[in-house]
Amino acid sequence: MTPYRDLISNKHKLSPVWPHFTQIEVEKASNCYLYDTKGREYIDFTSGIGVANIGHNHPRVVTAIQAQAEKLIHGQATIVYHQPMLKLVEKLARVLPTSLDNFFFTNSGSEAVESAIKLARHATGKPNIIAFQGGYHGRTVGAMTLTTAKTIYRSNYQPLMPGVHIAPFPYSFRYKNMSPEMLSKWCIHELQHLLKTQTSPEETAAMIIEPVLGEGGYVVPPKHFLANLREICSQKGILLIFDEIQTGFGRTGELFGYEHFNVKPDILLIAKGLASGMPLSGLVANHKLMEHWKAGSHGGTYGGNALACAASIETLRVIHDESLLDNARKSGHHLISRLQSLSEDYSCIGEVRGLGLMVGCEFIDDKKLTRSSIATKIRKYCLDKGLILLTCGTEDHVIRWVPPLTVTIDQLEQALAIFEDALFEVTNREELYDSHS
Ligand SMILES: Cc1ncc(COP(=O)(O)O)c(C=O)c1O
């Protein structure tokens, strides 16, 4: 076998389009820890961007994948039915509203978004889609067109998909001159205006929204915003799509983000935490809507792969058996209140917000540093000390906390101690890490 040090030189053969936030050469992972090839341990509070919700390599998921691999790896969905997919459908149906009873599986989040666009257009016969400012829906041409979290995701890829219109999202911290309720009303007003001036309801197939903005900055909308969208969609015959690719599977302390708002979508998009790292995603809708999707008009080779479905079934069992929703609520509450008390000592923290373990800490410019530079320096300081955190937001000015739902208070405290040191060092000795930023 080629010695590992020789393999590592191959990293230069990987496309530079991957930005690489760390240079960690990971060898293995367990729960919230990653281990590099030299045996150094890192606390991973990214969960691989909200994927390892039950922790990396949960032993029960590993066993389920191994057992399934012995039996069947690939059962092509247009050729055969297989047990893991049928069982997964049964399991998901038990935790979803009865209106969401029909499933289509894909491999990545973007592919699920792309499928939803196709279903919405096909089923309604209408061309246009409304998405919301700051949303992130993926990298394929359709999903990218719906994405307005940052220009880097869209630049130099024009022409984008036609038929997409962008409405404002109630990002309260950006519009501090309005109360969250006023802002929510203003956004709804603008949306109504858009339906009168750019795309009439007769031309609008669907609206797509993340119940909590992910890449856009971990922003929770005011309470009634999603309910108002639901009302408009129902009145005007427009489909409402919730992209729960990041908010799903316990991330917000409920199985799905929409549960916080008591609003149900017509189409639900799932991925990431669904299968603990196996590539599985999908969309769920009512069978009456799905009946309009003509057989053969959409598909894919790998969608609903047997290993991925087996991993997903076990993931759902673990979430239940280990009471992980409860833990996400409790530990999320602890994390938010600890970060809020840090914000009293550090004026560069503008806002701490979130639901469950989807927690954002937004920075503001201080006398010497920009908000983006503060967040980046803090991220890098934490990484040096063995804590992996990611940023999000238009200027990467929000540190996002995405620990696994299994996280303990001790683990959170360990990470918070590093974060607090980072805040102190970066705001008092800003020359620190200048060479890296
Ligand atoms: C809300 C949301 N939608 C869609 C996607 C795209 O998923 P993928 O990267 O698996 O294509 C992501 C990925 O981060 C996401 O967070």
Looking at the structure, tell me whether residues 68 and 186 fall in a common domain: yes
Query: Would you state the pLDDT for residue 437?
Result: 40
State whether 378 and 297 are in the same domain: no
CA of 142 to the centre of ligand 1 (A): 13
- Which of residues 289, 321, 353 is at a domain's end? 321
Query: How far is residue 350's CA from residue 366's CA, in Å, rounded to a whole number?
Result: 10
Specify whether 337 is located in the same domain as 414.
Answer: yes
Residue 65 alpha carbon to ligand 1 centre in Å:
23
* Residue 264 Cβ < 6 Å to ligand 1: no
CA of 433 to the centre of ligand 1 (A): 30
Determine if ligand 1 sits within 6 Å of the CB of residue 49. Answer: yes
* pLDDT value at residue 403: 98
Ligand 1, atom 10: nearest CA belongs to which residue? 109
What CA–CA distances, in Å, run from 329 to 242, 254, 321? 21, 8, 16
pLDDT value, residue 7:
76
Sign of CA dihedral 189, 195, 198, 204: positive
Question: What per-residue confidence (pLDDT) applies to 105?
Answer: 98
Do 44 and 107 have their domain in common? no
Task: Tell which one of 18, 53, 110 to mutate to probe ligand 1, the residue whose CB is within 8 A of the most ligand atoms.
Answer: 110
CA distance 42 to 65: 25
Using CA atoms, how far apart are residues 399 and 23, in angstroms rounded to an integer?
19
CB of 136 within 6 A of ligand 1: the answer is yes
CA distance 24 to 386: 10
- DSSP code string of 216-277: TT-BPPPTTHHHHHHHHHHHHT-EEEEE-TTTTTTTTSSSSGGGGTT---SEEEE-GGGGBT
Identify the pLDDT of residue 436: 44
Residues of the chain scoring pLDDT < 50: 435-437
The amino acid at 228: N
Contact 308, 277 (CB under 8 A): no
Binding site membership of 271 for ligand 1 (Cβ less than 6 Å): yes
Q: Is the peptide bond before 159 cis (omega within 30 degrees of 0)?
A: yes
pLDDT of residue 435: 46
Query: Going by CA atoms, what residue is nearest to atom 8 of ligand 1?
Result: 109
- The rounded Å distance from CA 136 to ligand 1 centre is 7
214 in ligand 1 pocket by Cβ < 6 Å?
yes
Rounded Cα–Cα distance for residues 347 and 360 (Å)? 16
Q: Are strands 398-401 and 349-355 parallel, antiparallel or unpaired?
A: unpaired
Tokens representing residue 409 in the block? 């208070």
Between the CA of 137 and the centroid of ligand 1 the distance, in Å, is 5
Q: Which of 267, 302, 321 is the last residue of a domain?
A: 321
Where residue 252 sits, what CATH number does that domain have? Answer: 3.40.640.10
Instruction: Classify burial at 162, counting beta carbons within 10 Å of its beta carbon; exposed 0-12, middle 13-18, buried 19 or more.
Output: exposed
Q: What is the pLDDT of residue 385?
A: 98
Q: Is 58 in the pocket of ligand 1 (CB under 6 A)?
A: no
Range of the domain at 32: 4-54+323-436
Please check whether residues 142 and 275 belong to one and the same domain: yes
Give the end of a domain, one of 290, 321, 352: 321
For the chain, how many structural domains are there in total? 2
The CATH number covering residue 50 comes to 3.90.1150.10
Atom of ligand 1 nearest to the CA of 139: 11
Tell me the best of 49, 137, 400 to mutate to test the pocket of ligand 1, counting ligand atoms within 8 Å of each CB and taking the most.
137
Do 148 and 92 lie in a common domain?
yes
Our answer on whether the CB atom of 243 is closer than 6 Å to any ligand 1 atom is yes
Residue 24 tokens read as 């960690």
222 and 81: one domain?
Answer: yes
Helix (H) or strand (E) holding 325: helix 324-345
In degrees and rounded to multiples of 5, residue 194 shows phi and psi of -60, -40
Q: Do residues 73 and 211 both lie within one domain?
A: yes
218: Cβ–Cβ under 8 A, 6 or more apart, which residues?
Answer: 212, 353, 354, 358, 359, 360, 392, 393, 398, 400
Judgement on whether residues 315 and 411 belong to the same structural domain of the protein:
no
- Using a 6 Å cutoff on CB, does residue 140 contact ligand 1? no
CB 305 within 8 A of CB 282: no
d(CA 143, CA 384): 34
- Whether 182 and 130 share a structural domain: yes
**Are 294 and 132 in contact, with CB atoms under 8 Å apart?**
no
Kindly state if the Cβ of 251 falls inside 6 Å of ligand 1: no
At 274 the pLDDT is 98
Question: So what's the pLDDT on residue 9?
Answer: 79
| Total number of residues shown for the chain | 437
- Output the CA–CA distances (angstroms, integers) from residue 70 to 66, 76, 85, 200, 280, in the order listed: 7, 17, 16, 53, 19
